[in-house]
Amino acid sequence: MTPDPDEDGFDAGTLGETIATDPIIRGTDVVKEYETGGQIVRALKGVDFSIAPADFVAVVGPSGSGKSTLLNLLGLLDVATSGEVRLRGEDVSTFTDREQTRKRKETIGFVFQSFYLIPTLTALENVEMPRMLDRTPTKTRERATQLLERVGLGDRLDHYPDELSGGQKQRVAIARSLINDPDILLADEPTGNLDRDTGDQILELFDELRSDENVAVVTVTHDDYVAEAADRVVTLIDGRIRDTESRRANFEEGPDP
Amino acid sequence: MSLLRRLTGRFPSVVIARRNVSRARTRSLLAAAAIMIGVVAIAGIGAGGAAFKQSQLDRIQEQGATNVYVSPGFDKEDRHFDRTDLMRIDETVGGAGIVATESRSMEYRRRSNRERGVSVTYLDDPRRLYDVAAGEIPKNWRRSAVVSREFAADNDLEPGDRIVLAPETDEDETGEFRAYRVTAVLAETQAFGVDQVYLPIEATGDRQYGQVRITTQSVEEAEAAATALREEFNGRKDTLIVFELTSLVRLFTSIVNGINLFLAGLGSLSLLVAGVSIANTMLMSVTKRREEIGVLRAVGYSKVDILRILLVEAALLGAIGAGIGIALALLVVLAANAIFLGSPFAFTSGSLLYLVGAVVFGIGTSLVAGAYPAWRAANERPVEALRG
Ligand SMILES: Nc1ncnc2c1ncn2[C@@H]1O[C@H](COP(=O)(O)OP(=O)(O)OP(=O)(O)O)[C@@H](O)[C@H]1O
Ligand SMILES: [Mg+2]
């Protein structure tokens, strides 16, 4: 095994900096194939990626280019067919289903295009939902209330999803994704069902989260204004990364040199 | 934080399950209703039947299941027992007490000079069979009469009064009337074969007995005595007719148990149908909630968590049905208890067993029925569920 440059910290003098840019998740030559009806579809044809804390990465590309597939791999919902995905240095392909679920809970927050709130639960309960089984109802409630206030829904705690607007639902969903203090927020077209103004509010929220809590945001999007707001835009075409555009100097593409 | 919230915080799966059950209210209620019907069927039939059985057993027991009744058999020439026969019977049954009686019909003349037939039992000592309620039977009882409570009430008699009786002769004529002083009135009893008037055996004149009652301490002893008597007397000829209630009790118990089990089995069939209904409801529910369950998995619920939530949901459906069902069944059983056992709260252990069993069975059925849908939902990969 080759030593992992991210873990040994041989450059002690720049330790603080190293931690700041230490990737949370990194993929090398990742291939993902699906088998349907005897036919093999290569959704990802060898991509490299690296997400560091407070990154804001937008994944763009035509439909069917593998954006959601990539997000699923980042979110530990799926494992790569070949190549390597490491979560804080650990090879995710060695995880059992239980470990995978636990790591997902600890590190990842999901935001979906169609929100996927649970209609039988109030806004507050939806936010609490990922921690409902933890049997820490008091703490969870405090945190959930705090998060809903933070996304501007402090006055909607007891509303059910069907009593909320699309933007409000998405903000509830974002609050939900944050309840376990994730390191990465994965969003699959979070603004896809929202108008521009509402979408802008969501983007502002992302910015706040990054600066306040060091949360990395990876979002798949078809909206140009979302891509423009990102630090880095990854363009996927037919399962390959065509183009990575860095907008800010402090975020570098790919693994450390 | 409120107590309720603290409590629900302890059992989050129950909270989630309850919300889901109330989401598709009609569907849930229908599934629960199916379970309810099954529970009512099993508990109602089973417990009602148990009450009926108990009432019949009580009645038989009251009539003396520890007694063996012996009367002269078809092959006995004189159709009566004499002293020798009694001694042989006594010897055969060993330590058990025997009481020989002779029943005859007599004419009873009331003060108004009207007559009516009464049945009279001649015996040595009524106290060996019955309790005395009023008056006293003299040690050497040879002349006076003892009457049953019912007879005393009907004819307004009390100890010290006189009754006038005449034996019925063969040609429907009455013999000579004789007066007897009533010396005692018997206590009321449920026992079988209580006659109206008792006279000392000496009064028959011939000391012949029509029936012998053997009193034992237990049902087993009664059976042993009956067996011994049959072996001793009914070898080739039927000298005795031996009748013991024990064998009847046994037969009756096995018949009622069989019928009850069969009916409760039919009730269980309705639970089977209920199980199918629950399975169907749960399948529909998890199919409809496929994405939702996918989200749960994505945010960190393990397969086991999903399985647990869905099983709690199925059990909740079953518990609702079983709860309503057991309430209804309880009404049925209270009614059955009141009818058969005299008090609505006279639960027998058998009926309680059926009630508890029906609830357990109802919830168990729901769990089993929910297992497959739950397993299927838990094993669905979240990526697939969330692909939309
Ligand atoms: N579970 C699956 N089974 C078979 N093929 C799949 C599966 N998931 C994705 N694919 C295929 O993989 C390719 C990439 O799919 P993916 O969902 O990642 O695209 P996308 O970029 O998210 O598209 P869109 O913008 O429409 O959401 C597509 O060709 C798709 O048909
Ligand atoms: Mg997609």
Helix (H, G, I), strand (E, B) or coil at B148: coil
Confidence of residue A56 (pLDDT cuts 50, 70, 90): very high
Q: Which of B5, B294, B300 sits opposite A101 (nearest CB)?
A: B300
Check whether residue B328 and residue B221 sit in a common domain: no
Check whether residue B268 and residue B217 sit in a common domain: no
A90 is written with which tokens?
A: 């650990």
Check whether residue B163 and residue B49 sit in a common domain: no
Q: CB–CB of B381 and A130 under 8 A?
A: no
Q: For chain B, how many structural domains are there in total?
A: 2
Q: CB–CB of A77 and B383 under 8 A?
A: yes
**Rounded to 5 degrees, what angle do the CA atoms B142, B147, B151 make?**
155
Q: Judge contact between B383 and B296, C-beta under 8 A.
A: no
Confidence of residue A161 (pLDDT cuts 50, 70, 90): very high
Q: CB–CB of B1 and A137 under 8 A?
A: yes
Check whether residue B73 and residue B142 sit in a common domain: yes
Give whichever of A123-132, B121-130, B193-202, B255-264 has the largest mean pLDDT: A123-132
Cα nearest neighbour of A69 on chain B: B383
List Cα–Cα distances, A114 to A92, A108, A188, B61, in angstroms. Answer: 27, 18, 9, 73
User: What is the mean predicted confidence (pLDDT) over B98-102?
Assistant: 83
Check whether residue B376 and residue B281 sit in a common domain: yes
Domain boundary among B244, B261, B282: B244
Structural domains of chain A ordered from first start:
53-78+95-248 (3.40.50.300)
Beta bridge partners of A51: A25
Of A30, A31, A67, the one to substitute when testing ligand 1's pocket (max ligand atoms within 8 A of C-beta) is A67
Contacts of B1 in chain A (CB under 8 A): 137-138, 141
- For the cut 90, the answer to whether the pLDDT of residue B69 exceeds it is no
Q: Which helix (H) or strand (E) holds B155?
A: helix B149-155
Task: Return the closest-CA partner of residue A32 out of A100, A102, A80, A101.
Answer: A80
Check whether residue B325 and residue B221 sit in a common domain: no
Atom of ligand 1 nearest to the CA of A62: 25
- Specify if B80 maps to a domain: yes
Mean predicted lDDT score pLDDT of chain A: 86
What would the pLDDT profile of B139-186 be if each residue is shown by its tens digit? 888 888 888 888 888 888 888 888 888 887 766 666 778 888 888 888
Check whether residue B214 and residue B154 sit in a common domain: yes
- Specify if B8 maps to a domain: no
Check whether residue B144 and residue B46 sit in a common domain: no
Domain boundary among B217, B244, B271: B244
Return the pLDDT at B388: 64
Contacts of B388 in chain A (CB under 8 A): 114
- For the cut 80, the answer to whether the pLDDT of residue B353 exceeds it is yes
Check whether residue B161 and residue B135 sit in a common domain: yes
- Specify if B4 maps to a domain: no
Q: Judge contact between B161 and B182, C-beta under 8 A.
A: yes
Ligand nearest to C-alpha A60: 1
User: What is the mean predicted confidence (pLDDT) over A206-213?
Assistant: 89
Check whether residue B224 and residue B171 sit in a common domain: yes
Check whether residue B21 and residue B105 sit in a common domain: no
Q: Could you give the count of Cα atoms lying within 13 Å of B147 in the half-sphere of its Cβ?
A: 23
Q: CB–CB of A77 and B5 under 8 A?
A: no
Contacts of A174 in chain B (CB under 8 A): none
Contacts of B305 in chain A (CB under 8 A): 133
Residue B172 or B107, more confident: B107
- For the cut 90, the answer to whether the pLDDT of residue B60 exceeds it is no
Ligand 1: residues with CB < 6 A are A 34, 36, 41, 43, 61, 63-69; B 387
- For the cut 50, the answer to whether the pLDDT of residue A219 exceeds it is yes
Confidence of residue A142 (pLDDT cuts 50, 70, 90): very high
Among the ranges given (A16-30, A75-89, B197-211, B279-293), the one the predictor scored with the smallest mean pLDDT: A16-30
User: What is the mean predicted confidence (pLDDT) over A144-154?
Assistant: 92
Q: Provide the residue range defining the domain that includes B226.
A: 66-244
The rounded distance, in Å, linking the Cα atoms of B218 and B246 is 10
Confidence of residue A5 (pLDDT cuts 50, 70, 90): very low
Dihedral sign from CA coordinates of B388, A93, A219, A209: positive
**Hey, whose CA ends up nearest to atom 26 of ligand 1?**
A63
- Specify if B6 maps to a domain: no
Residue B58 or A41, more confident: A41
- For the cut 80, the answer to whether the pLDDT of residue A143 exceeds it is yes
Check whether residue B73 and residue B55 sit in a common domain: no
What would the pLDDT profile of B308-336 be if each residue is shown by its tens digit? 999 999 999 999 999 999 999 999 999 98
Q: Judge contact between A56 and A230, C-beta under 8 A.
A: yes
Pairing relationship of beta strands B115-123 and A216-220 according to DSSP bridges: unpaired
Domain boundary among B186, B220, B244: B244
